[in-house]
Amino acid sequence: MSFGTLPNALVVIAIVIAVIARRLSWSELENSDADVWRGPLILCGVGIYQLYGKHLQLGPADLVLLVAGVGVALAAGYASGRVAQVQRRAGKVFFRLGIPGLGIMVAYLVIRLGLAGAGHLLGTAATAGGGALMLSLGANLLTQSLVIQGKAHHEAEEYSHS
């Protein structure tokens, strides 16, 4: 790892730790769509910017690993969103991932880091760097947030009909 990639790695690690810590504790789900989309879209944007900023020519191995990384991210985001706990308290909606969601997130991160390692071994600069990881994490969190928001809306409808 070069000195230039160390800050990227530290930023990604800090983001992952902050996101997992926040999602394991009960958090109020804001009603605003912007709150659901903002953070994950920023992560995706930073990831794309980092990938684009390197002016890389993407080869077949780059594309396969990028698509695999995003595919795993979307599947894990959907699965962790489905197992997330959603509760209504005093008219507000709260959520957390819980232990099953943590297990899915850890499995996703292990697979994603394995893809980054494979990219490094194959010499694919695009997938071995922080940009691909940030894009993947953003896609994961966006999917997870949308599924949780859908569950919250469904629970709100059931609550209003009872």
* Total number of domains constituting the chain: 1
- Starting at the earlier edge strand, list the strands of the sheet with 92-96: 27-28, 92-96, 85-89
Count of beta carbons in the 10 Å neighbourhood of residue 71:
12
Looking at the chain, how many residues does it have? 162
Residue span of the structural domain in which 72 resides: 5-161
* CA 16/CA 22 separation, integer angstroms: 10
pTM: 0.82
Quote the pLDDT of residue 5: 61
> Is residue 127 a contact partner of residue 65, using CB atoms and an 8 Å limit?
yes
Per-residue pLDDT of the chain (162 residues), as tens digits, is: 444 466 766 777 787 788 778 888 888 876 656 667 788 888 899 888 888 776 567 788 888 998 999 999 999 999 999 999 988 888 788 888 889 999 999 999 899 889 888 888 888 877 666 788 889 989 999 999 899 888 888 876 766 666
pLDDT at 10: 76
**In the prediction, which pLDDT does 3 show?**
44
pLDDT value of residue 18: 81
How buried is residue 162: exposed, middle or buried, by Cβ count under 10 Å (0-12/13-18/19+)? Answer: exposed
**Whole-angstrom distance, CA of residue 91 vs CA of residue 93:** 7
The predicted pLDDT at position 68 comes to 94
Beta strand residue intervals within 15-65, DSSP E = 27-28
Q: Which of 126, 91, 109, 90 is nearest to 23 (CA)?
A: 109
Angle at 41 between CA 116 and CA 55, to 5 degrees: 50
